[in-house]
């Protein structure tokens, strides 16, 4: 969706479009922080940044950020973010919500740890994006039929981690992963889930494109001002950018 080295600045710009620009020193949480690179980006911008995840990915920043208490693991039974109520001014996620199986619990936890008036910004692939980004299989955000997955595996479609696997193993792994670890909701269902927890829910793909580091994104934003349905197509077939206020 965007180059991660520019992601924190992009997120800050989108938040600035919605209200006053985020002020350095504000507390920011990266939910699903992976290897901590986005946490470090927010720190570099002068924010009091933290992160959490079910498990950390490998990366050069992980040990230092964990030792300093900047990143923490999430409790899973029951699911609970490892922070007190009303702890953060801003919460961000990047390619996280397409993995959430239990929206009510997850969104309730994000609401709990946000301060009153705090913002949460979520960026993730759309339900009808042509290529499922984790398996690289066309249409697999909605098509999980065994024959469909076997056909693409037989044709040689692989994710980076599947290099060298035979097609039967790839198809089997993709079936299991897609059914257990992804959840691509429709636009109306996303709005309903968020509205159950937040009074203010916005789809802000135009703001995302306006500030995109990619010139094609900025050009699409300009075209979208002339032909607004283009932005609707973008959010349907490429990415969802959702902003909510606690």
- Cα separation, 139 vs 126, whole angstroms: 11
8 Å CB contact between 176 and 188: no
Look at residue 150 in the predicted model and tell me its pLDDT: 98
Q: Any residues with CB less than 8 A from the CB of 107 and at least 6 apart, and which?
A: 193, 194, 196, 197, 198
User: How do residues 150-189 score in pLDDT, each as one tens digit?
Assistant: 999 999 999 999 999 999 999 999 999 999 999 999 999 9
CA–chain centroid gap for 42, Å, is: 16
Q: How far is CA 45 from CA 12, 23, 27, 28, in A?
A: 10, 10, 12, 11
User: How do residues 24-71 score in pLDDT, each as one tens digit?
Assistant: 999 999 999 999 999 999 999 999 999 999 999 999 999 999 999 999
Average pLDDT value for the chain = 96
Does domain 4-127+184-245 correspond to CATH entry 3.40.50.10260? Answer: no
User: How do residues 184-243 score in pLDDT, each as one tens digit?
Assistant: 999 999 999 999 999 999 999 999 999 999 999 999 999 999 999 999 999 999 999 999
User: How do residues 97-153 score in pLDDT, each as one tens digit?
Assistant: 999 999 999 999 999 999 999 999 999 999 999 999 999 999 999 999 999 999 999
């Amino acid at each position: 969706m965007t180059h991660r080295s520019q992601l924190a600045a992009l997120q800050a710009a989108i938040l600035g479009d919605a209200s006053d620009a985020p002020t350095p020193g504000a507390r920011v949480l990266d939910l699903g922080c992976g290897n901590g690179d986005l946490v470090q980006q927010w720190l570099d911008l002068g924010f009091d940044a933290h992160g959490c995840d079910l498990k950390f990915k490998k990366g050069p920043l992980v040990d230092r950020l964990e030792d300093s208490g900047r990143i923490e693991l999430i409790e899973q039974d029951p699911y609970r973010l490892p922070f007190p109520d009303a702890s953060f001014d801003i919460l961000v996620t990047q390619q996280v919500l397409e993995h959430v199986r239990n929206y009510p619990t997850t969104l309730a936890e994000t609401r709990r740890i946000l301060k009153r008036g705090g913002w949460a910004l979520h960026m993730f692939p759309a339900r009808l994006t042509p290529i499922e980004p984790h398996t690289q299989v066309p249409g697999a955000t909605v098509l999980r039929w065994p024959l469909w997955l076997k056909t693409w595996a037989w044709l040689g479609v692989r994710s980076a981690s599947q290099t060298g696997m035979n097609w039967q193993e790839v198809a089997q792994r993709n079936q299991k992963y897609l059914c257990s670890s992804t959840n691509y909701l429709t636009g109306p269902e996303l709005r309903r889930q968020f509205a159950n927890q937040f009074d203010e829910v916005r789809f802000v793909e135009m703001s995302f494109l306006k500030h995109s580091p990619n010139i094609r994104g900025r050009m699409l934003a300009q075209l979208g001002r002339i032909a607004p349905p283009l932005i609707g197509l973008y959010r349907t077939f490429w990415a969802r950018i959702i902003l909510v206020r606690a």
